[in-house]
Structure 1
């Protein structure tokens, strides 16, 4: 029963719109499923990293020191603002076309991975999620390592599945983005969303 509750929380948390979701939507719409998949993997690796940090007890230390938690929050917020400004200022020009008429321009996959990883790893809510939620679903009378692997694997799997669903849906927009005016508006909307997330995170009064 406890696991089903945890699974429900994971589904709601990973399906809800947030920076990782909108980054996946942007990547899927602009670069297609293949390249966007790299970004999704970057986010999942970030989640597993945070889970490991939580298991090592470092997450509790971060939450115990408000100044450190605030610093992470500000860094994460500024990075989202940076991504938003970069998206807003992206040139809405046509790139080289594939035989099907779709753009074959894609950024380096390592860049997509690092962007998604940093968005995930700098999310203070994710740190709080792992630090505050995990202990509530771990039975000290049972093998800790197995329980930790199960919970972390469940959250990572949910994150991967929902982010890929958003990527697949967004990739359907790719043909329309070959039109310069539509691409310009897409860049502005996604850029505005990221700036909004960043400003909200930086100005948040949460500890």
Structure 2
């Protein structure tokens, strides 16, 4: 269909589409109604697509608020697990006190490696299998308890062997027999068998969901966020320990930290072994 429009012709909307009608020269165009023009005309009123667009935008905003709330709650849970003192912190402080900054760095590296392994297991769904298997979880729990008690007893034996009055010098040299490789292994096993971290991945981790994201992407993002927060915490902690290294080398401070960490490790291990 063709429509020829001249200076003397205006376009009108009718029941049969566009049609030309003459109008006086110079006359203003007739106003076009914004309502429905007709069965075969052009409708200029808001369409259903516009309403769908508005609804989609509102749904996206609501989903964004829910994701933000879940992330904030997850960060709070992470900080509670990371910052609250536990076996990892007790071991790190003990190794920093008795073997210096290099041992503290190796211990923290082992802890972070354990975090990464547990995070990968959670993303792969292995922690869900562990949670569903009662006997397997009991084996892991008892193994963790035994290792914590073992570390605590070793610390106590070391404290008893070095007992007695201080030898003249107020500062004690760092322990040369704790190699960085051993400190790394201690940190790794301590984290893998840490009841706090295990409880986090077994109980808390599955409770957080990010609407609009695939399950694998959700778990990957949350696990990476937990590892990042752990890394920031241990970097800050080692920086602080480096500033007080001279104070940590005092014999009385070493004995106090060793005794406190030994008691904490044994207590945590015993509690983990007898829990239901």
1:35-89 deviations in whole A, cap 9, x for unaligned?
2112112111111211221222221121112222111111111111110111111
Could you report, residue by residue, the CA deviation over 1:151-183 in whole angstroms, capped at 9, with x for unpaired residues?
Answer: 112111222222333334445554345454543
What is the total number of aligned residue pairs between the two structures?
Answer: 200
* Structure 1 unmatched runs, 5+: 95-99
- If asked which structure has higher relative contact order (CA below 8 Å, sep 6+), I would say 1
Structure 1 Cα separation of the partners of residues 196 and 247 of structure 2: 34
Partner residue of 1:92 out of 139, 146, 162: 162
Q: 1:80·1:119 contact (CA, 8 Å) conserved in 2? A: yes
* Contact 1:102–1:175 under 8 Å retained in 2: no
| SS of residue matched to 2:100 | helix
Instruction: Say whether residues 1:4 and 2:72 are aligned partners.
Output: yes
Question: Structure 2 length as normaliser, TM-score?
Answer: 0.63
**Number of the residue aligned with 1:63:** 131
CA deviation profile, 1:128-157 (whole Å, cap 9, x unmatched): 322333333334742444433321121112
Q: Give the structure 2 partner of residue 54 of structure 1.
A: 122
Name which of 155, 158, 168 aligns with 2:229: 158
Specify the alignment match of 2:95 in structure 1: 27
Change (3 A) 1:27 1:101: closer
For 1:148, the equivalent position in structure 2 comes to 219
Q: Give deviations 1:11-37, integer Å, cap 9, x for gaps.
A: 222111111111111122223333211
Q: Which structure carries more helix by proportion?
A: 1
- For normalisation by structure 1, the TM-score amounts to 0.82
Asked whether the 8 Å contact 1:73–1:124 carries over to 2, the reply is yes
Matches of 2:173 and 2:225, distance apart in 1: 35
Residues 57/178 of structure 1: CA separation in 2 closer, same or farther (3 Å cut): closer
Q: Is the 8 A contact 2:115 2:192 kept in 1?
A: yes
SS in 1 for 2:174: coil
Instruction: Name the residue aligned to 1:194.
Output: 265
The structure-2 alpha-carbon separation of the partners of 1:29 and 1:183, relative to structure 1 and needing over 3 Å to count, comes to closer
From the CA coordinates, give the structure whose radius of gyration is larger: 2
Distance 1:181 1:155, change over 3 A: same
**Which residue of 29, 36, 48 corresponds with 2:104?**
36
Cα pair 1:84 1:195 within 8 Å, conserved: yes
Matches of 1:184 and 1:131, distance apart in 2: 36
